[in-house]
Amino acid sequence: MSLIRVEHVGKSFASRHGTMTIMQDISFEVKDSDFLAIVGPSGCGKSTLLRLIQGLDQPTSGQISFRDQPVRGVCSQMAMVFQSFALYPWLTVSQNVAFGLEALGWPKERIGPQVERYVTVTGLDGFQEAYPRELSGGMRQRVGLARALAVEPAVLLMDEPFSALDPLTAASLRDEVLQLWRDPQLPPDAVLLVSHNIEEAIELADRVIVFSRRPGHILAEVPVDLPRPRDRKSEAFYNLTDRVYSLITEGGQTPAPPTAAAEAPPRDG
């Protein structure tokens, strides 16, 4: 079943130097139980697209629909995980996790158990009353994840969720996200991940959508049918990675060595 359908979506902004086109003619589909990744160079509009899908902003052209209904306004069936965690420093872990539920108008008696459940699922037990600034980066992103999952979204939108973490923490958190997605008892049904880290995308996703440089358009949709857990050192993994790299470098007309692209560029707005 199709969850999200993106049809010929384009986005441009009026700037001082005229109209700036961020992306054009983007079409793809997110199906039930998909794990989809979008990769591309910085500034190609990946993060903007994520915000269009959630309904935070409207596309200039084309249409985005969720379960065959056009997305108008913020869609509560999706939840976002942010690169910078976006936790409220004045709220405790529990209060941050309850944030979305309050906005949905859940009654207090139901919020409590729901928060407990997702605090446990994300491994935050014992930190309920802690404030974000008392937590490590990895723990903070767990709070971000718990906050998104607590509203039981059909689709989890992840905007560079592991980029601000150290490599070891990122690796273990990736595993946990994968487990959550595969657990049929738990949300979400589908995950849409935006990343500039090609290895990360191939390790996690069923399909990888490759964006070009700005104005962003889709260069290719690469299916990843490697068995899980995926071994980054295997030849098949390497070949796939190599293919995506060459797609990006050729599509962008500015060849860059793969090693350089693997480094973390500045966050893409």
Q: What gap in Å lies between CA 8 and CA 94, rounded to an integer? A: 40
**Tokens 């997110």 belong to residue:** 30
Q: Which of 27, 25, 30, 26 is nearest to 4 (CA)?
A: 30
One residue of 137, 215, 252, 258 binding another protein per CB under 8 A: 137
Site for another protein in 66-105 (CB under 8 A): 73-74, 76, 78-80, 82-91, 99-100, 102-104
Q: Which is nearer to another protein, 200 or 245 (CB)?
A: 200
Read off the tokens for 157: 């939108």
Q: Is 136 in the site for another protein (CB under 8 A)?
A: yes
Q: Which is nearer to another protein, 124 or 202 (CB)?
A: 124
Q: Is 135 in the site for another protein (CB under 8 A)?
A: yes
Could you tell me the CA-to-CA distances from 31 to 4, 170, 253 in Å, in that order? 7, 26, 32
Read off the tokens for 53: 């899908």
**Tokens 């689709």 belong to residue:** 155
Site for another protein in 155-184 (CB under 8 A): 164, 166
Could you tell me the CA-to-CA distances from 48 to 68, 95, 168, 180, 184 in Å, in that order? 21, 28, 28, 25, 29
Q: Which of 151, 137, 138, 142 is nearest to 123 (CA)?
A: 142
Q: Are 242 and 258 in contact (CB under 8 A)?
A: yes
Q: Which is nearer to another protein, 28 or 131 (CB)?
A: 131
Instruction: For the CB of residue 261, give the shortest distance to another protein in the complex, in Å.
Output: 21
Read off the tokens for 252: 């962008």
Instruction: For the CB of residue 100, give the shortest distance to another protein in the complex, in Å.
Output: 4
Q: How many CA atoms lie within 13 A of 220 on its CB side?
A: 14
One residue of 40, 41, 59, 132 binding another protein per CB under 8 A: 132
Binding-residue pattern over the window 33 to 72 for another protein, x denoting contact by CB under 8 A: ------------------x--x-x----------------
Q: Which is nearer to another protein, 197 or 241 (CB)?
A: 197
Q: Which is nearer to another protein, 135 or 146 (CB)?
A: 135
Interface residues with another protein (CB under 8 A) are 51, 54, 56, 73-74, 76, 78-80, 82-91, 99-100, 102-104, 131-138, 140, 147, 151, 164, 166
